[in-house]
Structure 1
Amino acid sequence: MTKLTEHFTLEEFTKSTVASRLKIDNSVPTELMPNIKLTAAKLELVRQALGKPIIITSGYRCPALNARVGGVTTSAHTQGLAVDFHSSFGTPKEICQRLIEAGVQFDKLIQEHNQWVHIGFSPSKNRQIVLTAVKNGGKTVYLNDLV
């Protein structure tokens, strides 16, 4: 196991049942490792704010994996700057509310379909964008703020 921070490993960022099933190599390119390390460091602050462990369900996604899971080509996941996660802290909305209250710096925080939290970071300027993803007529729609 390649330890990135006290609580996060590289393997947590790259594991994917879809990649395994489709035999997609989801290894992080060397040039993106600084982004992965930045994200892991920021996730330590997320974990600290929640006071509970977080479970990464989707971290880094190589372009092939991102396409197979229906991610947009501009996804921060492909740059190692975003993760989807959940935590025993509470519901995705409660997690998002806590992170905002705690002043955690992020680029984008999305409460997705009331099932998980997406959090993205920027190496330069975190915009503090908060959204809620919902299904509308079979398509994902992003609403401003937490719903």
Structure 2
Amino acid sequence: MCPPPAKVNIKQAPKKPMSRNPRSTKCDLSYWEYVDAFESMQNSNSSVRRTTLSSEQPNQRTMMPMLDQFQPFMHDSIDKIVDVKADDNCGYRSVVGLLGMDEDSWSVVRYHLLKELGKFSEDYTRLFGGTKRFEELRM
């Protein structure tokens, strides 16, 4: 006669070893903190960074040309300055430059803006305070 086999527990999965000290007082990061940490790794110039990662050293800001033309309280909020050709389309050119596109692609941004204004014209008319101002901006 054989002895009975050892009893096998089939109801619970095997325990995984803990990756951190069980007596640690540091809590796990939330989902959004993981997302922020990932984005800050992807884009080192991101201003979204500071969450619970306060032990990191602050990034050294590089000197930007023309930064002195802005008020000092704005300097921390400025990540990049783009110098564009001064003409009637310089606002569109600056947006295109910050998106990383060629400066001469300003018409694409203008087209999409006009399309947006046309699609939500009633909302923008109320926002701008009347049809006259809306048409002024659209032109």
Instruction: Say whether the fold is shared (TM-score over 0.5).
Output: no
TM-score, reference length from structure 1: 0.21
TM-score, reference length from structure 2: 0.21
Select the structure of larger CA radius of gyration.
2
Structure whose residues are more often strand by fraction: 1
Structure whose residues are more often helix by fraction: 2
